[in-house]
Amino acid sequence: MIDAVVFDLDGLLIDSEQVWDAAREELAKERGGRWHPQAQRDMMGMSSPEWSRYMHDVIGVPDPPDQINAEVVSRVERIYREHLPVIPGAQDAVRRLAQRWPLGLASSSNRELIDLALELMGIAGCFQATVSSEEVARGKPAADVYLEAARRLQVDPSRVAAIEDSQNGIRAAKAAGMRVIAIPNKHFPPDAVALAQADVVLDSLAELTAEAVEPR
């Protein structure tokens, strides 16, 4: 039995992975870093302390990690305020499931970007708990952010359905013991091994119904 649903954010509700990719690559090139094609996939799901250290240690951006984090977040926030890349059907899917279950959100985004995105989408009030991976010890694929979302919702993780799009997100939700519904990211699709861990695979948010979450 499902008692709550927890959504991911980036790549699921907003088409933001390319925004993060562009902001990080731009900063890396400006600062003389060594950007490589696998960098964005490597950083997907990482918490802000983790990816900013990656930018410093692996990409070679000379600034301290906290400055890297602040600069990238500032650039992403500016883009969001100009045009938030909402994935079609995102608000409808959230409101549809909110009619039946309490909702949480477990995101790798920074707190200020989570709050901004949900406010701009007009769905902040649909969520009873939102968690940023910067608020827990480890980012995805560790289970921490999903376990914390379940704790704040006061629901056992085994009775939570997680909605995910990414490889590390699927692994994180599965590690938390949740029922995993995958809607694969079109730009950075999860590999077959990760996708096989999902309990349900959908093509789009339009297919995310109560029956998909908990078949009768």
Residues 59-83 have a mean pLDDT of: 96
User: pLDDT at residue 46 above 90?
Assistant: no
**pLDDT at residue number 112:** 96
Q: Specify whether 10 is catalytic.
A: yes
8 flagged as catalytic: yes
Share of the chain above pLDDT 70, in %: 100
- The type of residue at 150 is A
Q: What is the mean pLDDT of residues 119-135?
A: 97
Percent of the chain's residues with pLDDT above 90: 92
Q: 17-82 maps to which CATH number? A: 1.10.150.240
What CATH code is assigned to 4-15+86-213?
A: 3.40.50.1000
Record the pTM.
0.91
Tell me the two tokens of residue 82: 């100009």
Domain boundaries, the chain: 4-15+86-213, 17-82
